[in-house]
Structure 1
Amino acid sequence: MKAALQLDLTFEQILSLVKQLPKKEKVRLSKELEKDAIDSKLSKLLDSFETKDLNLDTLSEEVENVRQGIYEKRKRESDF
């Protein structure tokens, strides 16, 4: 059984704790914070693209249009 512990710390207290970490742990913490920020930005970006007008049929049609365009371009280039 795990016990959950929650501490209310100020930014200054957290910063003081971080400064006490060895360099290797600071680097590790920095990478984790960076990943968290990237995940947050990516989620926000994906949410901005969300639409109710998009469905599988529309996507499939667009994929086929792009494929057809690529095929035609390659065919024209090979004719030369």
Structure 2
Amino acid sequence: MRTALEVDLTFDQVLALVKQLPKQEKIMLTKELEKEGIETKLSELLRTFRTTDLSLDIINEEVEIVRKQIYDSQKH
């Protein structure tokens, strides 16, 4: 049987614990923190660009317009 344990620690206490870790575990911790930060930033970015105003039909229309412009410019 496992019991969840919750401990209130200050930033300074956590920092003191991290400083006690071996170098390899500090590197692993850094990578995990970076990954969490990247995931957070990516989620924010995706939320920023989410829209209901854009459909696949609109995208396809724009693609065809640009393709035609590129084709026309290569002919001249």
**What TM-score results when the alignment is normalised by the length of structure 1?**
0.72
User: Does residue 61 of structure 1 match 2:61?
Assistant: yes
> What is residue 10 of structure 2 aligned with on the other side?
10
- Paired-residue identity, %: 58
Aligned to 1:34: 34
- SS of residue paired to 2:61: helix
Q: 1:7 to 1:60 in 2, by over 3 A?
A: farther
**C-alpha distance in 2, partners of 1:14/1:26?**
12
Unaligned runs of at least 5 residues, structure 1: none
- How far 1:55 moved relative to its partner? 1.8
TM-score w.r.t. length of structure 2: 0.75
How far off is 1:63 after superposition? 3.5
Query: Number of matched residues?
Result: 76
Moved over 6 A (4+): none
